[in-house]
Amino acid sequence: MSTHDVPHDSHDPRGLHDAHGHHASYLAPKETFWATVKDWATTVDHKKIGVMYLFAILFMFFLGGAAAMAVRLELWEPVRVVTSTTPSGTTTTEVTGQLFAADAEGTSIGPGNNVYNRIFTLHGAIMVFMVIIPSIPASLGNFFLPIMLGAKDVAFPRLNLLSWYVYLFGSIFAVTSIILGGVDTGWTFYTPYSTTTDAQHWRVVFMILGAFILGFSSILTGLNFVVTVHKLRAPGMGWFDMPLFVWAIYSAAVIQVLATPVIGITLMLLVFERVFRIGIFDPALGGDPVLYQHFFWFYSHPVVYVMILPGMGIINETIAVHSRKKIFGYRAIAFASLGIAAVSFLVWGHHMFTSMSELASTVFSALTFLVAIPTAVKVFNWIATLYKGSIAMNTPMLYTLIFLFLFSIGGLTGLPLGTLSTDLHLHDSYFVVAHFHYVMMGGTMMGLMAGIHHWWPKMFGKMYAEKPAMIAALIVFVGFNITFFSQFFLGTQGMPRRYASYVDEFQFLHQVSTVGSWLLLLGFLLHAGVFIHSLTQGRPAPQNPWGGLTFEWEAASPPIEHNFEHEPICRHGPYDFESTVPPGWKPEDYPLPPATAPVPQGVVVARH
């Protein structure tokens, strides 16, 4: 739909109608290039905001990934100081195995290690604050939550735009601190190291302020979603008629609103401690460093459920649609999502078993096992959904299976970490690093990849090349396992985390892990290529390529500005595959189970 078709008349000043009188796609450009830029810069359209978030998040993912590649490269071999004596009696020492420049004058390894320490901090801070926390809610959540509810937009569209600008602003703050040297505290900023390191305050303060600002973006997004779910559901849609993706985003949004203020306050206290020396965390001033850990993890544990719940939400959609099967145990999954959100606030101490009292550790260990139960139940429900389904093998389904595989490993390896006696050995080792990469990357990121491929035709109106995408997914899967499974062994054998170097006995496993990281890079580069190819040369997508039943498949591909021509009415459940012809499909093209006679599109046969 080019702009030349848009009639300029007073009834349609914004050019929303094309020559055929239909509404234009949300992606349609305006009259001039700068008008289009202004449109996107001032938009309150949740779809445009979601797309901007998506590309920003993918960009930050590559930035954080570059830092990870550097980290794994440094760990290819340990740092060694080789001393040799020349025949004339002079001793020379040489530092080997350090990727980053050591200091020019001497053989001290500290400066080179410092660069490594700043790079792993960068990797963690970017990935946690700028990628994974907003990943699904801000991109796919923004785009699809209103549409799935049949709404035109979120409850507070202007607040949505504000959250995007706050995200940009916070990211710029953080990236600026990185460009100007970065910090070496780890993304957790533990005290008193973070309050006493680095003579110049501003670098640490900048990074902390960046995280603080980003927190507001998260709160605004969460607030918007909670109100939207409560208030903007389509007629006929009760709570238990909503897609489970919405339940997942809603549960995550509740955590975002309740928990994020705690990290905001904590980061503020950290800045005050550094700058004004108030003495809350630094024992030299009468403070308690473990108090900081409690404050920090009180937010940072619930936030990992902000990370994973939306990923699980996507899996609900992809597994149902691509198996053409009603989700097994809808209510169990809905309540499990809420339950996980609630219990997530009770388990933060499991990050601190080696710095708390025995009583506190015991209580937190018991509660940690409690939160494992609804999570396991969800996995059982998904596998049960596959039973007697009609399962297509495409990229979204492949990523769904990859999610199930990798997230199961991540979840199961949480058991030795939640178990007190084994955690005394595994805490702060590579075992923990492997565990959280399996759940965060193998869980959330694979869920994001499943969602992007599932909804790509809807968002951009283009199909992507299926075979290269599936090959890329397999490369990512193999590369991921090589990179991170080896790290479980590193951990149990005694390799601590956040180490710039290590003793010789760990070298082989580190090299295995590094080779895996190269495969991961290859896989993601391939994906980027598939996306670019699709945007530039992909064939146009139909309204409902997969046969989904939720409201987004009733909208055009890509949707018009206000999502729907007419407000949709909820007439069937989100997963009633055995009784409903999907929107946009002709009944003769869509096989219904034999027990049911073919029905016209949209007519209800039975509600769940």
Name which of residues 395 to 454 contact another protein (CB under 8 A).
401, 404-405, 408-409, 412-413, 415-416, 418-425, 427-429
Q: In this complex, which beta carbon is closest to another protein, that of residue 22 or of residue 388?
A: 388
Residue 589 is given by DSSP the state: G
Interaction between residue 595 and another protein (CB under 8 A):
yes
Q: Residue from 380, 586, 587, 603 that binds another protein (CB under 8 A)?
A: 380
Strand partners, 560: 25, 563
Q: Which stretch binds another protein (CB under 8 A): 18-26, 51-59, 79-87, 174-182?
A: 79-87
Give the three-state DSSP class for 604.
coil
Q: Residue from 5, 19, 41, 103 that binds another protein (CB under 8 A)?
A: 103
Q: Which stretch binds another protein (CB under 8 A): 54-62, 167-175, 251-259, 362-370?
A: 362-370
Residue 197 is given by DSSP the state: S
Give the three-state DSSP class for 334.
helix
Q: Residue from 159, 391, 515, 526 that binds another protein (CB under 8 A)?
A: 391
Q: Residue from 323, 395, 483, 487 that binds another protein (CB under 8 A)?
A: 323
Q: Residue from 125, 161, 500, 560 that binds another protein (CB under 8 A)?
A: 500
Q: In this complex, which beta carbon is closest to another protein, that of residue 101 or of residue 528?
A: 101
What is d(CA 222, CA 302) in angstroms, rounded to the nearest whole number? Answer: 14
Report yes or no: 606 and 271 within 8 Å, Cβ to Cβ. no
Is residue 552 packed enough to be buried (19+ CB in 10 Å), middle (13-18) or exposed (0-12)? buried
Q: Residue from 28, 54, 79, 312 that binds another protein (CB under 8 A)?
A: 79
Q: Residue from 31, 505, 565, 567 that binds another protein (CB under 8 A)?
A: 505
Smallest gap from Cβ 459 to another protein, in A, equals 24
User: Which residue in this structure is represented by tokens 């016209």?
Assistant: 600
Q: In this complex, which beta carbon is closest to another protein, that of residue 80 or of residue 571?
A: 80
Q: In this complex, which beta carbon is closest to another protein, that of residue 169 or of residue 485?
A: 485
Smallest gap from Cβ 453 to another protein, in A, equals 17
Q: Which stretch binds another protein (CB under 8 A): 110-118, 134-142, 269-277, 452-460?
A: 110-118
What is d(CA 55, CA 52) in angstroms, rounded to the nearest whole number? Answer: 5
Q: Which stretch binds another protein (CB under 8 A): 14-22, 138-146, 320-328, 439-447?
A: 320-328
Q: Residue from 31, 101, 107, 230 that binds another protein (CB under 8 A)?
A: 107
Interaction between residue 540 and another protein (CB under 8 A):
no
Number of residues in contact with another protein under rule CB under 8 A: 116
Interaction between residue 342 and another protein (CB under 8 A):
no
Report yes or no: 454 and 546 within 8 Å, Cβ to Cβ. yes
Interaction between residue 81 and another protein (CB under 8 A):
yes
Measuring CA to CA, how many Å separate 94 from each of 117, 257, 469? 21, 53, 46
Q: Residue from 593, 603, 604, 605 that binds another protein (CB under 8 A)?
A: 593
**How is 517-560 classified by DSSP, letter by letter?**
HHHHHHHHHHHHHHHHHHHHHPPBP-S-SS---SGGGGS-SS-B
Interaction between residue 597 and another protein (CB under 8 A):
no
Q: In this complex, which beta carbon is closest to another protein, that of residue 17 or of residue 80?
A: 80
Interaction between residue 532 and another protein (CB under 8 A):
no
Give the three-state DSSP class for 326.
coil
Report yes or no: 438 and 371 within 8 Å, Cβ to Cβ. no
Q: Could you count the other beta carbons within 10 Å of the beta carbon of residue 430?
A: 28
Q: Which stretch binds another protein (CB under 8 A): 146-154, 254-262, 337-345, 382-390?
A: 382-390
Q: Which stretch binds another protein (CB under 8 A): 224-232, 259-267, 271-279, 380-388?
A: 380-388
End-to-end CA distance of the chain: 40
Element (H, E) at 289: helix 289-323
Interaction between residue 390 and another protein (CB under 8 A):
yes
The three state secondary structure string of 395-442 is: HHHHHHHHHHHHHHHHHHHHHHHHCHHHHHHHCCEHHHHHHHHHHHHH
Burial 389-418 (b: 16+ CB within 10 A, else e): bebeebbbbbbbbbbbbbbbbbbebbebbb
Interaction between residue 494 and another protein (CB under 8 A):
yes
Element (H, E) at 178: helix 157-179
Element (H, E) at 81: strand 80-85
Q: Which stretch binds another protein (CB under 8 A): 34-42, 350-358, 517-525, 551-559?
A: 350-358
Question: Which of these, 498, 499, 490, 501, lies nearest to 98 by C-alpha position?
Answer: 501
Interaction between residue 36 and another protein (CB under 8 A):
no
Q: Which stretch binds another protein (CB under 8 A): 41-49, 138-146, 307-315, 326-334?
A: 326-334
Q: Residue from 2, 42, 86, 200 that binds another protein (CB under 8 A)?
A: 86
Smallest gap from Cβ 262 to another protein, in A, equals 21
Q: 111-130: which residues touch another protein (CB under 8 A)?
A: 111, 113-114, 117
Q: Could you count the other beta carbons within 10 Å of the beta carbon of residue 157?
A: 17
Q: What is the CA radius of gyration of the chain?
A: 26
Q: Which stretch binds another protein (CB under 8 A): 81-89, 263-271, 297-305, 436-444?
A: 81-89
Q: 276-295: which residues touch another protein (CB under 8 A)?
A: 283-284, 287-290
Measuring CA to CA, how many Å separate 266 from each of 130, 208, 273, 280? 18, 10, 10, 11
Q: 173-202: which residues touch another protein (CB under 8 A)?
A: 184-186, 190-193, 196-197, 199
